[in-house]
Amino acid sequence: MIKRYLIERSSWIFLFLLQQLILLLIAYLDPSIPLSAVGYIVFISLIVFVLFLFYRYQKETDFFQQLEERENDFDLSNMSSPSTPFEKIVKNSITEQTKHLKQTASENRMLVEQEKDDLLAWIHEVKTPLTAMHLMIQRMDETPLKGDLTYEWLRIHLLLDQQLHQKRIPFIKNDLYMEVTELEMLLFSELKTLQSWCIQKGIGFDFDLQVTHVLSDAKWLAFIVRQILTNAVKYSHSSEIVINSYNMNDRNYLRIQDFGRGIDTKDMPRIFDKGFTSTTDHQDQASTGMGLYLAKKAADSLHIQLSIDSKRNEGTTVTLAFPKRNEFDQTMGM
């Protein structure tokens, strides 16, 4: 701050020093003026100027130092009172801008909330004809056309479901209900939705559930599993998906392993980034880059450690590590 203050007042300092040099120069050129007396006056003036500069530094920088240290928020209560006309101008300007930003932020928040409510209402409206469409498809005879229609219906259903949960993610903590959840029922329910797609791609499942119950929110856990299974089926063909659960070091684990195309090593650090699809298969139009991102966000809220191990053309293993009971109680205050 001292350096910046001296730079700010450099023109005044330069003017003062120039005046003292002029006095010394006049005394040097005019023999009638005692040089020693002028030098003494200049010396005293320098001491007074330095003391004055130190005093003004304390006085003038206090307001701006507090302004620099204050947090970047809309709270002006901790802002120091101005003591000069220019400081008053600064404070009035900040106050007016803050009021404007508060109003704009409030309006934008209302617009976002309205947009979210409208989108959620639209998704629920679309689900009605989508359900009717599914019933009509089920009445059709077993033909290749029925399989194609079922697959396209499933894609729309999963995209709408993903969009619905994407809008709910920011408020997930208000929607959590922790309970003992039965893994087998949850997994079979999700696989039933994907059944026609799995049959079409020749994909089977191998189960080994040593742990049958976990402590979690059933609805959001189902969403996480849905995203993982959807990716496993999407990127596999004519192979098995291995699902097992186990307990290790007093912690429950759920592991879902496929033998599909896998993920390139250079893409691994970015797989949970919003909107990231792939650098290797960047032309894949079916990928939205939202599934793993949303699954990770939901898992973090449930205190589930979501990890992925994958190799290109060898498959992908996704592991869900559920929190220990005592860890969850401490975190959630249950």
Average of per-residue pLDDT across 38-56: 89
C-alpha 237/C-alpha 179 separation (Å) is 35
**Residues whose CB falls within 8 Å of the CB of residue 193, separated by 6 or more in sequence, listed in order:** 154, 157, 226
Question: Is residue 276 pLDDT above 60, yes or no?
Answer: yes
For the chain, what percent of residues have pLDDT higher than 90?
30
Q: What is the DSSP string of 232-255?
A: HHHT--SSEEEEEEEEETTEEEEE
For the chain, what percent of residues have pLDDT higher than 70?
91
Instruction: Quote the mean pLDDT of the chain.
Output: 85
Residue 54: burial class (beta carbons within 10 Å; 0-12, 13-18, 19+): exposed
Average of per-residue pLDDT across 233-261: 92
C-alpha 135/C-alpha 308 separation (Å) is 36
Complete domains list, the chain, with CATH? 1-48 (no CATH), 178-332 (3.30.565.10)
276 neighbors 224 (Cβ within 8 angstroms): no
Question: Is residue 317 pLDDT above 50, yes or no?
Answer: yes
pLDDT band at 181 (very low <50, low <70, confident <90, very high): very high
Question: Is residue 333 pLDDT above 90, yes or no?
Answer: no
* pLDDT for position 73: 67
Which span out of 114-118, 170-174, 253-257 was modeled with the highest average pLDDT?
A: 253-257
Tens of pLDDT along 64-106?
Answer: 777 777 766 667 766 767 777 877 887 788 888 888 888 898 8
* pLDDT for position 228: 94
* pLDDT for position 253: 95
Average of per-residue pLDDT across 132-141: 86
Question: Is residue 331 pLDDT above 50, yes or no?
Answer: no
Here the tokens at position 20 are: 């003292």
Q: Enter the DSSP assignment of 312.
A: T
pLDDT band at 300 (very low <50, low <70, confident <90, very high): very high
* pLDDT for position 296: 93
Average of per-residue pLDDT across 109-125: 85
Average of per-residue pLDDT across 38-43: 89
* pLDDT for position 284: 56
* pLDDT for position 283: 53
Q: Name the residue with tokens 């893409």.
A: 267
Tens of pLDDT along 185-233?
Answer: 999 999 998 988 898 889 999 999 999 999 899 999 999 999 999 999 9
Query: Where is average pLDDT lowest: 105-109, 183-187, 285-289?
Result: 285-289
Average of per-residue pLDDT across 46-52: 91
264 neighbors 312 (Cβ within 8 angstroms): yes
Q: For helices 144-168 and 291-301, give the axis angle rounded to 10 degrees.
A: 50
pLDDT band at 334 (very low <50, low <70, confident <90, very high): very low
pTM: 0.68
